Amino acid sequence: MHFWFLFVHPKRNPPCGGGTPHHRAASRHTYQKEAVVCGRKHSHSVQIIFIIQHIDRFYQRQERISIAISKAMRAALKALSYPDIDIKKSYPLKRQIDAAVGKKISPLYETWDHTVACGDHEIPVRLFASGGGTDDRILLFFHGGGWVTGNIDSYNKVCCHMAQATGHLVVSVDYRLAPEHRFPQGLEDCYAVTREMFLDAPRLFGVDPRRITLIGDSAGGNLAAAVSLMARDRGEFLPARQILVYPATWNDHTERSPFRSVTENGTDYLLTSKRICDYMALYRSSPADLQNPYFAPLLAKEFAGLPETLVVTAQYDPLRDEGEEYAARLAEAGVDVVCHRMPDALHGFLALPPQFAQVGRLYEWINLFLRDREGAE
């Protein structure tokens, strides 16, 4: 087996955050106000440039920023939700934007890269090490992006800050994306890396596999939950813990959805229910996938025997209720579960710069969860 590692050793303590522009609620709000005042109609690509420039200004600020969804903010978010955009056609542009954001990292780190061999292809893996953390605890991270966009480059800042905030090694997996590689190919990549990590962790890292925690946001949260289900069912290994940040767990985000958050938050908060449906249409190989629990973990017939779990949802997220329902199903099956809803938060807030209060609180919850459970081992 071959690993591709990126070790991140900060030469100073840069503020790390990042992620995709559609996650930047405050930035888009500010730019939308400017666009209205100027009275000009800007293209989406021009808008993205202004958004990225505004995000960079946030990195220079040291105070903690808190977002409240005011009436004015709500109006701006509604204007920015773009219900007419067809992600099925625009995902190549979205990938380019993600890559551009990732490339904006300053060259402050020493890096080593490698790959994990898996069948006829190799899976890129990137490892981030905090300057003052321990070397015996790992967060195995699956990025978001609707299974269609995002990569380890676009999540560099997120993983950098994750390593610094938690004191853990963060291993980020660059699984294959749909629609070129539809379900379950990206999931099998995540499973293959997780399997090798758990089976070879003592030899590769000198780490007890029980100190490896799966973590993912959005589609990555879906993948983390599915990997845990798959690991339990296949019996090769079993993660001790998983952290699911606003995960996708259900198969229907139309008006027929049983979850109220889809209708309450599905049109005016950047991530729309239509966008989720489009992502899932690109991800699935056939309509039959919609009934597969590895595609939609809430469809699992049995939830017992799954890892200890932290679920974090966002107040103004279409995926909020299905994430909380997944936590409830786990708890009913006797799994040790903690579930938090982040107030005044949109889907994707993990990717905000660390100065945002929601990001700081998220890592407080993550660290408490890890400290309580890792300390018992």
Residue 287 maps to a domain: yes
Q: Is residue 19 one of the residues assigned to a domain?
A: no
**C-beta atoms surrounding 63 within 10 Å:** 6
The span from the CA of 258 to the CA of 289, in Å, is: 19
Other beta carbons within 10 angstroms of residue 256's beta carbon come to 7
Number of H-type helices and E-type strands within the chain: 11, 8
User: What is the sign of the dihedral through the CA atoms of 359, 190, 157 and 153?
Assistant: negative
Structural domain for 346, as ranges: 100-374
d(CA 261, CA 269): 11
What is the CATH classification number for the domain harbouring 366? 3.40.50.1820
Q: Can 143 be counted among the known catalytic residues?
A: no
Give every residue of the chain whose pLDDT is below 50, as ranges.
1-62, 106-111
Position 155 scores a pLDDT of: 93
Whether residue 262 lies inside any domain: the answer is yes
Q: Does residue 47 contact residue 89 with C-beta atoms inside 8 Å?
A: no
Tokens coding 349 = 């807030």
| pLDDT score at 240 | 97
Amino acid in the structure at residue 120: D
Phi-psi region of 82 (alpha: psi -120 to 50; beta: other; left: phi over 0): left
Tokens of 144: 């978001």
In a domain, residue 326? The reply is yes
Residues 23-56: b if buried by 16+ CB within 10 A, e if exposed: bbbbbbbbbbeebeeeeeeeeeeebbebbbebbe
Distant-in-sequence, close-in-space partners of 40: CB < 8 Å, separation ≥ 6: none
pLDDT in tens, 28-58: 333 232 323 233 343 444 444 344 344 444 4
Q: Catalytic one among 218, 228, 261, 273?
A: 218
**36 found inside a domain:** no
Predicted model pTM: 0.80
Look up residue 376 and give its amino acid: A
Domain assignment present for residue 239? The answer is yes
In the chain, what's the furthest Cα-to-Cα distance? Answer: 61
Angle between helices 185-205 and 219-234 (to 10 degrees): 70
Residue 372 token pair: 């309580």
Measured CA to CA, the distance from residue 264 to residue 268 in angstroms comes to: 9
pLDDT at 97: 74
pLDDT of residue 1: 39
Backbone angles phi, psi at 216, to 5 degrees: -160, 155
- Residue 16 falls inside a structural domain: no
Q: How far apart are CA 250 and CA 290, in angstroms?
A: 9
Q: Which two tokens stand for residue 82?
A: 């773009």
What is the structure's pLDDT at 75? 57
Separation between Cα atoms, residue 229 and residue 332, nearest integer Å: 16
Asked if residues 349 and 342 have their Cβ atoms less than 8 Å apart, the reply is: yes
Q: Domain for residue 8, yes or no?
A: no
Q: Which pLDDT value is given to residue 324? A: 98
- φ, ψ at 315 (rounded to 5°): -60, -45
Q: How far apart are CA 143 and CA 356, in angstroms?
A: 20
Calpha distance 348→155 (Å, rounded): 12
Tokens linked to 241: 């813990």
3-state SS assignment for residue 155: coil
What local confidence, expressed as pLDDT, does residue 21 receive? 33
Tokens of 326: 């997944």
Q: Which of 228, 317, 321, 340 is catalytic?
A: 317
Number of domains in the chain: 1
Catalytic: 218?
Answer: yes
Single out the catalytic residue among 161, 168, 253, 347: 347
The C-alpha atoms of residue 95 and residue 92 are separated, in whole angstroms, by 5
| Amino acid identity for residue 363 in this structure | Y
In angstroms, the CA 362 to CA 215 distance is 13
